[in-house]
Amino acid sequence: MSAPTDRTTATLDVEFASPMPGLAPHTSFTLEQIDGAEGLHALRARNADVRLFLLDPRSGDYGYEPSIPADVRSEIGAADESEIRVFVVANPSADGVYINLRAPILIHTGSGRAAQAILEDQRYPIRALLGA
């Protein structure tokens, strides 16, 4: 049996186990790196004009190391956290870019299967100003 392929290329097919809150019925997306913006990606629905910006928190010193709930790992088919890429939603606004650290997007590196987790850890805010 061969090891799963690490799907961390510039474009990745992503299939959510269930629709993200506010984005139903969409579950099929592509994840694309944005040129010239380290760690920034666009998550685009396959059959609709829906786009979110996602930030890879490993691209900066954010001190973000959430514990991924076992039920979410199971939902996307990950045996452990090493098989998961973690992203946070980034929302640009007039006063800066805010990231949601409470509800990361988790993508299985081998299959592209994904879920949005809602963390109970109160250390991570829903709306954190990037760079603050």
Interacting residues of 85 by C-beta distance below 8 A, sequence separation 6+: 8, 56, 106, 107, 109
Give pLDDT < 70 ranges for the chain: 1-10
pLDDT at residue 63 in the model: 82
Longest dimension (CA), the chain: 51
CATH superfamily of 11-129: BH3618-like (2.30.290.10)
User: Which pTM was predicted?
Assistant: 0.87
Percent of the chain past pLDDT 70, that is, above it, reads: 92
Domain boundaries, the chain: 11-129
